[in-house]
Structure 1
Amino acid sequence: MKDKIVLIVGGSGGIGEACARTFAKGGATVVLAARDQERAESIAKEINESGKEAYVIGVEVTDLSSVSNMVREITQDLGPIDVLVNAFGTAVIQPLLDIKPDDAKEMFETNIFGTFLVTQTVVRYMATEKKGRVVMFPGSVGKYPMKNSSVYSASKFAVTGFTKSLIKEHQRSGVKFTLMHLGGVDTPMWDSPKVDMRVRKDKMLTPEEVGKAVYYAANQPEDSVLNEMVLQPESHQMV
């Protein structure tokens, strides 16, 4: 990944942080885009102090001007984006009748509209360059529905359908797409009051394991693409 520019949206913790550290270790220049710039700055500082290269930029994924400014600044200051990692999202995992409509709306706006907006903006540049890779995270619930995940699964199935359509649409543009169907990952998401589940984090995937898988997917030879990966803890296996 030497000399590659990797944009990680949602780079202030969890999977995004692990991806940033893994890509930087592989020689890439990483850009951590996040709402929580303070936390992202701390991660970037550690990466830079290790002799690697990392930058931070603020973004609101549901705001067109914010997303456009982010992509324009990166391409002008650093060069074309080689890899986009869409590591952001929110979760509402509750029984249907308990879900507050405003919570569902906010999640759909982030997980679906935000994914559309960031992807469209970056891919517009990638298609011009005739190269680039995009990594999406529909998770296991974007492939296998589970109890109490109705609206969350709906948002993640939307990401799956969106990406599979883009694969068809961009077969000749040079832009490649990867779907990461992950089982439970030990991230702060599970501590949210909007996630009504009893979980065992010690049985989950670690963000570091996921970071390695994402790096592997994005580091395929130029003439190949890893379209889908299902990675689950042994205790979460579904087929």
Structure 2
Amino acid sequence: MNYEFKGKRAIVTGASSGIGKGIAMRFAKMGVKVILAARRQLELEEVAAEIRSHGGTAIVAPCDVTNPEDVARVVQTAVDELGGVDIMVNCAGIAGPMTFEDTPPERFRQHMDVNYFGAVEFVRNVLPLMKEQGSGYIVNISSITGLKGLPTYTSYGASKFAITGFSDSLRHEVKKYGIKVSVVAPPGVHTPMVDDDLESHPDWFHKFKVIEVDQVLNKMISGMRKGRFLILVSADSKLMYAMLRFFPRAFTALFMWLYKMEK
């Protein structure tokens, strides 16, 4: 298959910065009309202005993904302003590595509320629209930590495992309606969320290359064109996933060794 982007209508969450902003701007350059959803309206307005300055269509929709009423309002905005939704990208997220013992209970809930339940709520709202039109594409941004449990990511990683598993189950359920699902699993990416908090990441994190947002976008677009479910965006990610599949014990031993080296 070769998925065609031009003329599509998309909602992108987390669109005020980082990967979400990059996705929205890349989509707009490809002729996609985008709804920009995130909490920070000022930053969304700046992204929208940049898109419009290049002739693209962007509509600002401030949103807290943990608020079901906000989510429903964003989707209704897409219906009212664009006539529907062809692509749903769930990119809103919070990170913050921490050992289990150092992670307060409310942090676990925050990770799940934003990284997982926010995406689920958006899918719940767009799915009836996609079913009715007989097509659609749902893209959920996960992480390499959503494929393999890694030290200091008990909270963040659990939320990403949830979104990966949700996406895997969902794709089988919605295929008969002409709806595709992809999950993107990047490693560390140079975004404000990561760069502003680099010191909190474990030493082993810095042994792997932190990639640029453009690399994520290139691989995501290529993967969507081909209809791939799991989209890995770097050589490190592909190597890690291959080791996980074919040499799981060696993979686990490697990370345990790296983790012990920090102590």
Q: Do both proteins adopt the same fold according to a TM-score greater than 0.5, normalized to the shorter chain?
A: yes
Q: Which amino acid aligns with 1:209?
A: Q
Residue 218 of structure 2 is aligned to residue 212 of structure 1: yes
SS of the counterpart of 1:183? coil
Query: Match for residue 43 of structure 1?
Result: 47
Equivalent AA in structure 1 for residue 234 of structure 2: Q
1:134-186: CA deviation from partner (whole Å, max 9, x where unpaired): 11111101112211111211111111111111011112111110011111111
Give the equivalent residue in structure 1 for 2:245.
none
Aligned to 1:122: 126
Aligned length: 235
Letter in 1 for 2:33: T
Q: Which stretch of structure 1 is more off in the superposition, 118-127 or 32-41?
A: 118-127
| AA of the residue aligned to 2:114 | T
Over aligned residues, Cα RMSD in angstroms?
Answer: 2.1
Q: Deviations over 1:191-220 (max 9, x none)?
A: 249944355599311111112222223344
2:232 to 226, 230, 233: 230
Q: Is the 8 A contact 1:30 1:55 kept in 2?
A: yes
Q: Which amino acid aligns with 2:26?
A: T
CA distance, structure 1, for counterparts of residue 49 and residue 151 of structure 2: 41
Other-structure match for 2:111:
107
- 2:34 maps to what in 1? 30
Query: 1:236 & 1:176 partners in 2: Cα distance?
Result: 22
- Which letter does structure 1 place at the counterpart of 2:218? K
1:122–1:235 Cα change, 3 Å: closer
- Structure showing greater radius of gyration is 2
Q: Which runs of 5+ in 2 are unaligned?
A: 243-263
**Residue from 173, 184, 187 that aligns with 2:188:** 184
Structure 2 match to 1:197: 202
In structure 2, what residue type is equivalent to 1:98? D
| Secondary structure in structure 1 of the residue aligned to 2:219 | helix
Asked if structure 1 preserves the Cα contact closer than 8 Å seen for 2:48 and 2:58, the reply is yes
Letter in 2 for 1:150: T
Whole-angstrom distance in 2 between the partners of 1:26 and 1:202: 31
- In structure 2, what is the Cα distance between the partners aligned to 1:58 and 1:50? 22
1:184 touches 1:204 (CA, 8 Å); kept in 2?
A: yes
